[in-house]
């Protein structure tokens, strides 16, 4: 199959490289000429484990190409994927679809022969209908079908998620489009991945409902963690105890500083807006959004409490800035709330992140960035773990004790065990695991 992928952001680049690896011929198109130029030199615009090798080998084998001008690729394509950004629109939280519609217009003007137009970007219910209208209006004679095919890729694990997904969802009523999509994903038959065909609106909603449910699950365990602290219980054991029930499942029950990232905050907000507009509000998700927002801000209070309530003149060592490990993505990261809140209370913040500092430096005014974790810890009053990078799981605790002014750690990701930390002489604070729970 021939594929044109419009947009070489996170989703487009990973999907394009993986389709090429499946054996299809893929051109990834992006208006950003410098990005395409760098991709020609195998420089990835994002940090994703394994992506550079995957791109390099498929380019070398002639299945993957990059272009600024999409004309040739779109003309030749059996399927054109729209994988452009859908940021939150300023002011109202609705998804901004201007890039999606611009791509639809471009596709309408260029496509040739039967073409399947696929939305890979997360788009609100009804967007497929609008894309169909846009294309039909510009090309009344065109032979095409618009399909919804949401992605469920986690950053840091995106290639594995694409190649071994739990399921693939394809929303279309068009038989020919179904056949094209089935052929595109045929390699997944080998590991018996369910490919679920649904109506287009259903497929669009599945993506939002999945993300909203996961965000709600995290928020649930975060609230339970607070309760654990109040009543002397251990949230990790509560999570395990409920997660072993198959109906609940053990994943996404890790309590922390609140969810961030490029999807959950934006998608929950957009779903809330869609539901309100449709006259069928989603109260659970509205509450989830509000709780998570407040939680990220409240993390600075925990640091203050660990130091007796006052942060004036104190130095805080912040370990981890990205919204989760194995990514350089800073979008909606808890650090964007936590660091300013610490500084507003009078603290100096010394931070280190293995991949996120370049981006963080643009977003976090006033933070002092350090070369490594120990440099960030030197002379600080408290160590705060904000992102659970592997390298923070095996820190040299004796060395930290010498570097800190006093041995205090606030572990917002529950990386260490409270008993161990106490035995080593730390005053240790984590999430949902009061010392008296042990
Ligand atoms: C998410 C979805 O998992 C993916 O299916 C969708 O396509 C895009 O959004 P991603 O944003 O890459 O993927 O990150 P994910 O690993 O899901 O984590 C999101 C946030 O939730 C992070 O801030 C993470 O720290 C937090 N989280 C996750 C928790 O706090 N606890 C958990 O148990 C799981």
Q: How many CB atoms lie within 10 A of CB 178?
A: 17
- pLDDT > 70? residue 438: no
pLDDT value at position 56?
A: 98
The response to whether 429 counts as a known ligand-binding position is no
Give the model confidence (pLDDT) of 342-380 as tens digits: 999 999 999 999 999 999 999 999 999 999 999 999 999
- Ligand 1 mutation target, pool 122, 166, 261, most atoms within 8 A of CB: 261
CA 154 – ligand 1 centroid, Å: 7
Q: Is the CB of 200 under 6 A from ligand 1?
A: no
Q: Is the CB of 256 under 6 A from ligand 1?
A: yes
- Ligand 1 mutation target, pool 323, 325, 331, most atoms within 8 A of CB: 323
Mean pLDDT of 416-436: 93
| C-alpha dihedral sign at 383, 48, 30, 270 | negative
pLDDT value at position 94?
A: 83
DSSP of 143-195: -EEEEE----PPTTSHHHHHHS-S-EEEE---HHHHHHHHHHTGGGGGGT--E
The response to whether 51 counts as a known ligand-binding position is no
In this predicted structure, which of 44-48, 51-55, 99-103 has the lowest mean pLDDT? 44-48
CATH superfamily of 2-198: NAD(P)-binding Rossmann-like Domain (3.40.50.720)
Mean pLDDT of 247-272: 96
- pLDDT > 90? residue 137: yes
CA 76 – ligand 1 centroid, Å: 36
Q: Is the CB of 381 under 6 A from ligand 1?
A: no
Task: Return the ligand 1 atom nearest residue 256 CA.
Answer: 30
CA distance 247 to 344: 43
Mean pLDDT of 200-224: 98
- Token pair 């981890």 is found at 320
CA 152 – ligand 1 centroid, Å: 10
Q: Is the CB of 152 under 6 A from ligand 1?
A: yes
What is the residue with the minimal CA distance to atom 1 of ligand 1?
154
- pLDDT > 70? residue 261: yes
- Ligand 1 mutation target, pool 46, 51, 214, most atoms within 8 A of CB: 214
Give the model confidence (pLDDT) of 112-127 as tens digits: 999 999 999 889 999 9
Mean pLDDT of 243-263: 97
pLDDT value at position 92?
A: 82
The response to whether 201 counts as a known ligand-binding position is no
User: What order of strands is seen across the sheet that includes strand 2-6?
Assistant: 64-67, 25-29, 2-6, 79-82, 115-119, 144-148, 168-171, 195-198
Q: Is the CB of 265 under 6 A from ligand 1?
A: no
Phi-psi region of 170 (alpha: psi -120 to 50; beta: other; left: phi over 0): beta
Do the strands 348-352 and 368-369 form a parallel or antiparallel pair, or are they unpaired?
A: parallel
ipTM of the complex model: 0.95
CA distance 123 to 267: 9
Backbone phi and psi for residue 305, each to the nearest 5 degrees, phi listed first? -60, -40
Q: To 10 degrees, the CA torsion angle through 152, 153, 159, 165?
A: -30
Band of the pLDDT at 402, cuts 50, 70, 90? very high
Q: Is the CB of 253 under 6 A from ligand 1?
A: yes
Which residues on neighbouring strands pair with residue 315, listed in sequence order?
Answer: 348
- pLDDT > 80? residue 184: yes
Residues of the chain above pLDDT 70, percent: 99
Share the mean pLDDT of the chain. Answer: 96
Does the domain at 232-437 match CATH 3.40.50.720? Answer given as yes
Tell me the two tokens of residue 71. 């004309």
- pLDDT > 80? residue 428: yes
Give the model confidence (pLDDT) of 79-107 as tens digits: 999 999 988 888 787 889 999 999 999 99
pLDDT value at position 40?
A: 96
Residues of the chain above pLDDT 90, percent: 93
- pLDDT > 90? residue 29: yes
Mean pLDDT of 301-319: 97
Question: Quick check: do 2-198 and 232-437 share a fold?
Answer: yes
Catalytic residue list: 263
The response to whether 302 counts as a known ligand-binding position is no
Q: What are the structural domain ranges in the chain?
A: 2-198, 232-437
pLDDT value at position 437?
A: 65
In this predicted structure, which of 25-29, 65-69, 93-97, 342-346 has the lowest mean pLDDT? 93-97
Q: Is the CB of 153 under 6 A from ligand 1?
A: yes
CA 298 – ligand 1 centroid, Å: 20
């Amino acid at each position: 199959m021939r594929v044109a992928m419009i947009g070489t952001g996170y989703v487009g680049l990973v999907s394009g490289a993986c389709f090429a690896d499946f054996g299809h011929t893929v051109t990834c198109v992006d208006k950003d000429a410098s990005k395409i130029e760098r991709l020609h030199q195998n420089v990835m615009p994002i940090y994703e484990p394994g992506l550079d090798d995957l791109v390099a080998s498929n380019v070398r084998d002639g299945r993957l190409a990059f272009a600024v001008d999409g004309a040739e690729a779109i003309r030749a394509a059996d399927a054109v994927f729209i994988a452009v950004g859908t940021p939150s629109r300023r002011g109202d939280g609705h998804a901004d679809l201007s890039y999606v519609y611009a791509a639809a217009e471009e596709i309408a003007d260029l496509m040739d022969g039967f073409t399947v137009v696929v939305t890979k970007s997360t788009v609100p219910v009804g967007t497929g209908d609008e894309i169909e209208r846009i294309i039909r209006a510009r090309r009344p004679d065109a032979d095409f079908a618009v399909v919804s095919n949401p992605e469920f890729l986690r950053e840091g694990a995106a290639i594995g998620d694409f190649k071994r997904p739990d399921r693939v969802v394809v929303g279309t009523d068009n038989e020919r489009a179904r056949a094209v999509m089935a052929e595109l994903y045929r390699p997944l038959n080998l590991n018996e991945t369910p490919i679920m065909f649904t109506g287009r609106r259903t497929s669009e909603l599945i993506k939002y409902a999945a993300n909203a449910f996961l965000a709600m699950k995290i928020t649930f365990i975060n609230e339970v963690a607070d309760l654990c602290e109040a009543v002397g219980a251990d949230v990790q054991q509560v999570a395990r105890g409920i997660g072993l029930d198959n109906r609940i499942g053990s994943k996404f029950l890790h309590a922390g500083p609140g969810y961030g990232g490029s999807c959950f905050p934006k998608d929950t907000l957009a779903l809330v807006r869609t539901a309100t507009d449709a006259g069928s509000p989603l109260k659970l998700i509205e509450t989830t959004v509000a709780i998570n927002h407040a939680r990220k801000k409240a993390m600075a209070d925990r640091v203050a409490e660990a130091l007796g309530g006052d942060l004036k003149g104190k130095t805080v060592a912040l370990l981890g800035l990205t919204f989760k490990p194995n990514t350089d993505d800073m979008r909606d990261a808890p650090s964007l709330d936590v660091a300013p809140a610490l500084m507003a209370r009078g603290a100096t913040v010394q931070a280190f992140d293995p991949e996120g500092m370049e981006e963080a430096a643009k977003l976090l005014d006033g933070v002092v960035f350090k070369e490594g974790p120990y440099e960030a810890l030197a002379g600080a009053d408290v160590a705060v773990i904000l992102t659970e990078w592997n390298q923070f799981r095996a820190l040299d605790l004796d060395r930290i004790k010498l570097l800190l002014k006093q041995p205090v750690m606030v572990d917002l990701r529950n990386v260490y065990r409270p008993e161990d930390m106490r035995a080593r002489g730390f005053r240790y604070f984590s999430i949902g695991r009061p010392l008296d729970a042990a």
